[in-house]
């Protein structure tokens, strides 16, 4: 019998499901059991061509609709997503292995927020009138054209919506390629957008590995590329886009600092560290994986952290009591276990966890290392798993310098009861998305993205509009034209 997660077909192009089984088969594995639950086929060159030519053609009429009309479709899609939240959350859990406890509140719901928010903005994307004496200049905010979205595997529904909603609101069309690891959810986003009234060809999904992404990025018809992925992939995609002078948004990796001063509320700081390291089993780009704790509260902090981490419930992700799921793939589990071994070898102290969980599926125990130093591999490289490194510090000046001593710059957080210090420290941290006495909140209203190697551009908020549109300026002369001859 076909598994309920098996999609109707691999791709969604021109308003309908499309299959081409001559592409490379991509098995979809449920991370909680290792069982194959679906198969999709990578896009062949013919499928890539079909998606791009359809999206290019459909965009013209879409851009001519009023923003209010486009926005209405996005808001209708948001309503459908919310109505189907349970079913979409189950699919997200199959796709990623994340527990239903999380997917019910973080995935289709945040996708719906993006559709609703950008749907609401679509009718107010206007230009300016600039008086020049009798003459004037007016500006028009125009769509870029055909946008490509390429997703990572940790938030397949959210990423498909965070890219698709602002792109469509501005009058662009999109071809979206999910990660080959989690190919299922974006198809549902496409299906729902079309059910909500999006014209055929406006939002297309095709499957495939890096080569398919590469074919999309280098196609001359593509005007913009928005990638969520790792820094090495980001560098390749950015370079390929630059060769065609395309617009880019790069949402890449991080190794973000979370700084806890000794006047912080311990339980809130521990809660922030847990949210910033163990949500989605640590597979979150903005995680605060370098937890700097001021020496005065170090032992108290570690004791409370170990106690609360011990309350994590590892188990069947479909059971809503489960609060901690598996790694997305066996490969990712092995990468993370490799980092845990490195941490031990290089002399960090295991406070809790530190091994694979003794159960089927790709589970790793939530792991806390203490006595981590800045030069250790676990303090320098993005692990993308449930591994928290706790580092000690003495002074504010010292911790700011150490926090910034990294190629990354995605996020940063500070816990302190001294608000003057909180703002002073945040002001000096090199990061795009920051938190004071909190960690990892990502409402659609707030800009999200990184500095340094963590990325270019911003998703969400009004900032995203700037990255999915361009400004045309028009000078209007009322009098005669003066010319030299
Ligand atoms: P990857 O960088 O491996 O892949 C990202 C996407 O790019 C995938 O769809 C991948 O396809 C595709 N891709 C790979 N090579 C190319 C290429 N040459 N041209 C075009 N596309 C290509 O990232 P992961 O999927 O492993 O995701 C984890 C990474 O994503 C982490 O580093 C994490 O920090 C980052 N991330 C960043 C976020 C942010 O907003 N800043 C949010 C979430 C994750 P395929 O995998 O199918 O081969």
Distance of CA 259 to the CA centre of its chain: 23
CA distance 69 to 55: 19
Which of 210, 251, 333 most suits a substitution to test ligand 1, by most atoms within 8 Å of the C-beta?
A: 210
Residues with a catalytic annotation lie at 163, 251, 285, 459
User: What's the rounded Cα separation, in Å, for the pair 480 and 68?
Assistant: 38
pLDDT above 90 covers what percent of the chain? 100
Residue 230 sits at φ, ψ, to 5 deg, of -85, 165
Q: What is the pLDDT of residue 4?
A: 94
Which position has the token pair 């602002």?
166
Q: Is there a contact between 95 and 184 (Cβ–Cβ < 8 Å)?
A: yes
For residue 362, give both structure tokens: 């790709």
Q: What is the pLDDT of residues 365-377, one digit of tens each?
A: 999 999 999 999 9
Q: Is the CB of 149 under 6 A from ligand 1?
A: no
Q: How far, in Å, from the CA of 406 to the mean position of ligand 1? A: 20
Q: Is the CB of 442 under 6 A from ligand 1?
A: no
Quick check: 139 and 474 in contact, CB under 8 A? yes
Mean pLDDT of the chain: 98
CA 230/CA 184 separation, integer angstroms: 21
User: Strand 433-436 vs strand 411-415: parallel, antiparallel, or unpaired?
Assistant: parallel
Give residue 158 CA to ligand 1 midpoint distance, Å.
14
Tens digits of per-residue pLDDT, 190-234?
999 999 999 999 999 999 999 999 999 999 999 999 999 999 999
- What is the reported pLDDT for 33? 97
Residues ≥6 apart with Cβ < 8 Å to 398: none
User: Model confidence over 23-56: pLDDT tens digits?
Assistant: 999 999 999 999 999 999 999 999 999 999 999 9
- Enter the DSSP assignment of 480: P
Closest CA to 122 of 58, 157, 172: 172
pLDDT mean over 434-438 = 98
438 lines ligand 1 (CB under 6 A): no
Tell me the CA–centroid distance for residue 310 and ligand 1, in Å.
31
Cα separation, 52 vs 463, in Å, equals 26
Distance 143 CA to ligand 1 centre (A): 25
Instruction: Say what the pLDDT of residue 164 is.
Output: 98
With a 6 Å cutoff on the Cβ, whether 236 touches ligand 1 is yes
| Token duo for residue 255 | 């190794």
pLDDT at 360 over 80: yes
* Closest listed residue to residue 92, CA positions, set 150, 31, 9, 155: 155
Q: Is residue 124 exposed (0-12), middle (13-18) or buried (19+ Cβ within 10 Å)?
A: exposed
Beta carbon of 222 within 6 Å of any ligand 1 atom = no
pLDDT per residue over 100-156, tens digit each?
Answer: 999 999 999 999 999 999 999 999 999 999 999 999 999 999 999 999 999 999 999
Burial class (CB in 10 A: 0-12, 13-18, 19+), 203: buried
Q: Is 210 in the pocket of ligand 1 (CB under 6 A)?
A: yes
Pocket test for ligand 1, best of 229, 407, 447 (most atoms within 8 A of CB): 229
Calculate ∠ Cα 438-460-272, nearest 5°: 15
DSSP for 439-467 reads: -----TTS-B--SGGGEES-BSHHHHHHH
Q: Which ligand 1 atom sits nearest the alpha carbon of residue 284?
A: 43
Q: What is the CA(222)–ligand 1 centre distance, in A?
A: 19
DSSP per-residue string spanning 142-189: EE--EEEEE--SS-HHHHHHHHHHHHHHTT-EEEEE--TTS-SHHHHH
Q: How far apart are CA 182 and CA 155, in angstroms?
A: 9
CB of 159 closer than 6 angstroms to any ligand 1 atom: no
DSSP letters spanning 261-283: -TTS-HHHHHHHHHHHHHGGGG-
382-418: b (≥16 Cβ within 10 Å) or e: bbbbbbbbbbebeebeebbebbeebebbbbbbbbbee
CB-based contacts of 395, cutoff 8 Å, min separation 6: none
Name which residue sits closest to atom 42 of ligand 1, judged by CA: 285
Dihedral of CA atoms 49, 50, 52, 53 in degrees, nearest 10, equals: 100
How far is 149 from 163, CA to CA, in rounded Å?
Answer: 6
Average pLDDT, integer, range 405-415: 98
Ligand 1 pocket, residue 314 CB under 6 Å: no
Q: How many whole angstroms separate alpha carbon 363 and alpha carbon 374? A: 27
How many CB atoms lie under 10 A from the CB of residue 208? 28
How many Å lie between the centroid of ligand 1 and the Cα of residue 211? 12
Element at 41 (helix H, strand E): strand 35-41
Mean pLDDT of 155-169: 98
Ligand 1 atom at minimum distance from 216 CA:
20
Determine whether the shortest distance from the Cβ of 32 to ligand 1 is under 6 A: no
Q: Is 1's pLDDT higher than 90?
A: no
Ligand 1 neighbour 116 (Cβ under 6 A): no
Q: Which atom of ligand 1 is nearest to the CA of 410?
A: 41
């Amino acid at each position: 019998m076909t598994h309920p997660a098996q999609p109707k077909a691999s791709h969604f192009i021109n308003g309908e499901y499309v299959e081409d089984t001559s592409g490379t088969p991509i098995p979809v594995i449920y991370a909680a059991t290792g069982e194959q639950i679906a198969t999709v086929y990578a896009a062949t060159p013919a499928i890539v061509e079909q998606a791009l030519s359809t999206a290019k053609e459909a965009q013209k009429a879409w851009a001519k609709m009023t923003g209010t009309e486009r926005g209405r479709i996005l808001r209708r899609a948001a309503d459908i997503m919310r109505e189907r939240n349970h079913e979409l959350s189950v699919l997200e859990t199959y796709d990623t292995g994340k527990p239903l406890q999380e997917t019910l509140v973080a995935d289709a719901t945040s996708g719906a927020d993006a559709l609703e928010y950008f749907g609401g903005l679509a009718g107010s994307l206007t230009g300016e009138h600039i008086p020049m004496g009798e003459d004037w200049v007016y500006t028009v905010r125009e769509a870029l054209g055909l946008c490509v979205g390429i997703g990572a595997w940790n938030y397949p529904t959210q990423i498909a919506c965070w890219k698709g909603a602002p792109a469509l609101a501005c009058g662009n069309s999109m071809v979206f390629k999910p990660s080959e690891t989690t190919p299922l959810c974006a198809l549902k986003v496409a299906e729902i957008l079309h059910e909500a009234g999006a014209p055929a060809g406006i939002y297309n999904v095709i499957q495939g590995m890096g080569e398919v992404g590469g074919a999309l990025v280098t196609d001359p018809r593509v005007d913009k590329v928005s990638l969520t992925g790792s820094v090495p992939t980001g560098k390749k995609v950015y370079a390929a886009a630059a060769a065609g002078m395309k617009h880019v948004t790069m949402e890449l990796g991080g190794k973000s600092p979370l700084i806890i001063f000794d006047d912080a509320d311990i339980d809130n700081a521990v809660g922030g560290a847990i949210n910033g390291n163990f949500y989605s089993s640590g597979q979150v780009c903005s995680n605060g994986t370098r937890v700097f704790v001021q020496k005065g509260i170090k032992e108290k902090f570690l004791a409370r952290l170990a106690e609360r981490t011990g309350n994590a419930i590892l188990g069947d992700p479909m059971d809503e009591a489960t609060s901690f799921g598996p790694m997305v793939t066996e490969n990712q589990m092995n990468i993370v276990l490799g980092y845990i071994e490195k941490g031990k070898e290089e002399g960090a102290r295991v406070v809790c966890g530190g091994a694979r969980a003794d159960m089927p599926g790709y589970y790793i125990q939530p792991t806390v290392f203490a006595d981590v130093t800045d030069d250790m591999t676990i303090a320098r490289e993005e692990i993308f798993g449930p591994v928290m490194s706790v580092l000690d510090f003495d002074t504010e000046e010292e911790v700011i310098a150490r926090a910034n001593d990294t190629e990354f710059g995605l996020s940063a957080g500070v816990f302190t009861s001294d608000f003057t210090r909180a703002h002073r420290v945040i002001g000096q941290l090199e990061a795009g998305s920051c938190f004071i006495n909190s960690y990892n909140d990502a409402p659609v209203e707030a800009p999200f993205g990184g500095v340094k190697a963590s990325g270019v551009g911003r998703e969400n908020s009004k900032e995203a509009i700037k990255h999915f549109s361009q400004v045309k300026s028009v000078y209007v002369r009322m009098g005669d034209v003066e010319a030299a001859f």
